[in-house]
């Protein structure tokens, strides 16, 4: 550290030189950090184009590219329940030039089947970017008027009440199995290949109850064609304030949401990781970015670095416990 305790009369040119040097070094530092990141970055999305993971990747990459002069290529690489893309990125050169959009499937796959990556050691977590709350819904003509009535009906006729969601062996399926165990309700699980088919099944009266993402049920809930019994989010959703949480209805601690994050291959340099994390974190705080995501039913979070690492570890442990207890098998 430079000391200014000596004779101030000698500062003159020396002070000017120190200030100029400090300014120069300060200007160089961001450029040095930025130089660690390739000018073209490929974001691999393990699901088809047009879905929420794809939307998240494109909104974030557009913002970062606009501010920092980085070119982004979004590559959709579906297959294997996200395992194909995850394995490819785990093997990619760890220079920040290849990133992966991740969801709960990153953690679920290794518990259920052999994959060529470790969810906690094959990647460097950058940020959890968005979350998507689930809602438990029924047809507007359903005799089930509340979550309490739904649970009571399931207990009164064990195994008869049908419950639809995406599955099997998905985050929503695991959330359903945990709900069964917490409430003691004997429900019959009906898997669907996507949220839209499961919601259509409820609307058509083919199943009694469904669990769907906010973005897939908000329209029908607001129009009244669906009735919301509860949300699995940790707190009520502002757009649907009259729908209570499962936790507040007598099952404290119960919560389940989809989420999407961004990771890099393990071994990516710390300077590069710091720069990427800073860029993504700043993008998640941008008002325009948050509006774009919110307009597609995605709730921005911006949980980054060590906090995202802790989230992945906690989710991996929770998924593993639930899968073992419910004896969920790979599809």
Residue whose tokens read 């050691």:
121
Beta strands 257-265 and 98-102, pairing class: antiparallel
320: confidence class by pLDDT, cuts 50, 70, 90: very high
Q: How many residues comprise the chain? A: 331
Beta bridge partners of 213: 134
pLDDT, tens only, 173-209: 999 999 999 999 999 999 999 899 999 999 999 999 9
Q: For residue range 222-238, what is the model confidence (pLDDT) as tens digits?
A: 999 999 999 999 999 99
227 & 295 share domain: no
Predicted confidence (pLDDT) at residue 18 exceeds the cutoff of 70? no
Asked if residue 58 and residue 94 are part of one domain, the reply reads: yes
pLDDT at residue 8 in the model:
31
Domain closes at, from 190, 218, 249: 249
pLDDT of residue 326: 93
The phi and psi torsions of 119 (rounded to 5 degrees) equal -65, -20
- pTM for this structure? 0.86
Q: Is the pLDDT of residue 32 over 60?
A: no
The vertex-310 CA angle with 193 and 56, nearest 5°, equals 45
Shared domain for 79 and 31, answered yes or no, is: no
Q: What is the arithmetic mean of pLDDT over 21-43?
A: 59
| Cβ atoms of residues 109 and 81 within 8 Å | yes
| Residue 330 vs residue 311, higher pLDDT | 311
Count of beta carbons in the 10 Å neighbourhood of residue 266 = 14
Residue 253 C-alpha from the chain's centroid: 19
Asked if the structure places residue 182 within a domain, the reply is yes
Statement to judge: residues 317 and 212 lie in one domain: no
Q: What is the CA radius of gyration of the chain?
A: 24
pLDDT digits (tens, 9 = 90+) for 240-272: 999 999 999 999 999 999 999 999 999 999 999
If asked whether residues 152 and 198 sit together in one domain, one would say: yes
pLDDT band, residue 3 (cuts 50/70/90) = very low
If asked whether residues 60 and 99 sit together in one domain, one would say yes
Q: Is residue 98 part of a domain?
A: yes
In angstroms, rounded to a whole number, what is the distance separating the alpha carbons of residues 271 and 31? 12
By residue range, what is the domain housing residue 89? 40-130+260-326
Half-sphere exposure of 121 (CA within 13 A, CB side): 4
Of 51, 43, 55, the C-alpha closest to 100 is: 43
User: Are 168 and 326 contacting, i.e. CB atoms less than 8 angstroms apart?
Assistant: no
Query: What is the structure's pLDDT at 29?
Result: 40
Q: Which of 280, 322, 319 is nearest to 301 (CA)?
A: 280
pLDDT band at 135 (very low <50, low <70, confident <90, very high): very high
Please indicate, yes or no, if residue 89 is contained in any of the structural domains: yes
Classified as helix, coil or strand, 136 is strand
pLDDT > 60? residue 5: no
Domain boundary among 249, 270, 285: 249
In a domain, 149, yes or no: yes
Number of structural domains the chain divides into:
3
CATH number of the domain enclosing 156: 3.40.190.10
Last residue of a domain, one of 195, 223, 249: 249
pLDDT in tens, 97-128: 999 999 999 999 999 999 999 999 999 999 99
End-to-end CA distance of the chain: 62
Average pLDDT score, the chain: 90
What value does the mean pLDDT take over residues 271-286? Answer: 97
Angle of helix 52-68 versus helix 287-295 axis, rounded to 10: 160
Q: Is 125 helix (H, G, I), strand (E, B) or coil?
A: strand
Does the pLDDT value for residue 58 go beyond 80?
yes
Q: Is 255 a domain residue?
A: no
Q: How many whole angstroms from its chain centre is CA 258?
A: 6
Residue 9: the pLDDT is 34
Closest CA to 270 of 111, 37, 87, 70: 37
Question: Same domain, yes or no, for 53 and 124?
Answer: yes
Distance CA 329, CA 331 (A): 6
Looking at the fold, whether 76 and 87 belong to one and the same domain comes out as yes
107 and 195 housed in the same domain: no
Give just the sign of the alpha carbon dihedral 300, 301, 302, 308: negative
Q: Quick one: pLDDT band at residue 36, thresholds 50, 70, 90?
A: confident
**Band of pLDDT at residue 15, cut at 50, 70 and 90:** very low
- Kindly tell me the number of DSSP H helices and DSSP E strands found in the chain: 11, 10
Residue 29 located in a structural domain = yes
Q: Is residue 26 very low, low, confident or very high in pLDDT (cuts 50, 70, 90)?
A: very low
């Amino acid at each position: 550290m430079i000391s200014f305790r000596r004779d101030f009369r000698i500062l003159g040119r020396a002070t000017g030189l120190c200030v100029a040097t400090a300014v120069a070094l300060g200007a160089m530092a961001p450029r040095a950090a930025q130089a660690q990141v390739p000018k073209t970055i490929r974001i691999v999305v393990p699901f088809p184009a047009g879905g929420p993971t794809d939307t998240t990747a494109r909104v974030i990459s557009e913002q970062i590219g606009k501010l920092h002069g980085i070119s982004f290529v979004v590559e959709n690489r579906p297959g294997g329940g996200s395992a194909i893309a995850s394995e490819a990125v785990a093997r990619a050169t760890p220079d920040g030039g290849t990133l992966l959009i991740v969801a709960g499937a990153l953690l679920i796959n290794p518990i259920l089947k052999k994959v060529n990556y470790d969810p906690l050691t094959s990647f460097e977590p950058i940020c959890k970017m968005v979350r998507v709350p689930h809602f438990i819904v029924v047809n507007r003509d359903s005799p089930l008027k509340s979550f309490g009535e739904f649970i009571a009906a399931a207990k009164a006729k064990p195994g008869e009440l049908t419950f639809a969601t995406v599955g099997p062996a998905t985050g929503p399926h695991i959330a359903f199995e945990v709900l069964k165990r917490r409430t003691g309700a004997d429900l019959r699980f009906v898997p669907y290949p996507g949220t839209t088919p499961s919601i259509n099944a409820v609307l058509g009266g083919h199943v009694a109850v469904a669990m769907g993402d906010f973005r897939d049920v908000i329209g029908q809930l607001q129009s009244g064609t669906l009735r919301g019994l509860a949300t699995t989010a940790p707190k009520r959703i502002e757009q649907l304030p009259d729908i209570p949480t499962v936790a507040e209805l007598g099952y404290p601690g119960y919560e389940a949401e989809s989420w999407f994050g961004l990771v890099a291959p393990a071994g990516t340099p710390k300077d590069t990781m710091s720069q990427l994390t800073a860029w993504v974190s700043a993008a998640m705080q941008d008002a325009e970015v948050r509006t774009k995501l919110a307009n597609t039913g995605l709730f921005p979070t911006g949980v980054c670095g060590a906090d995202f690492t802790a989230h992945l570890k906690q989710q991996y442990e929770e998924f593993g416990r639930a899968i073992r207890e419910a004896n969920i098998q790979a599809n």
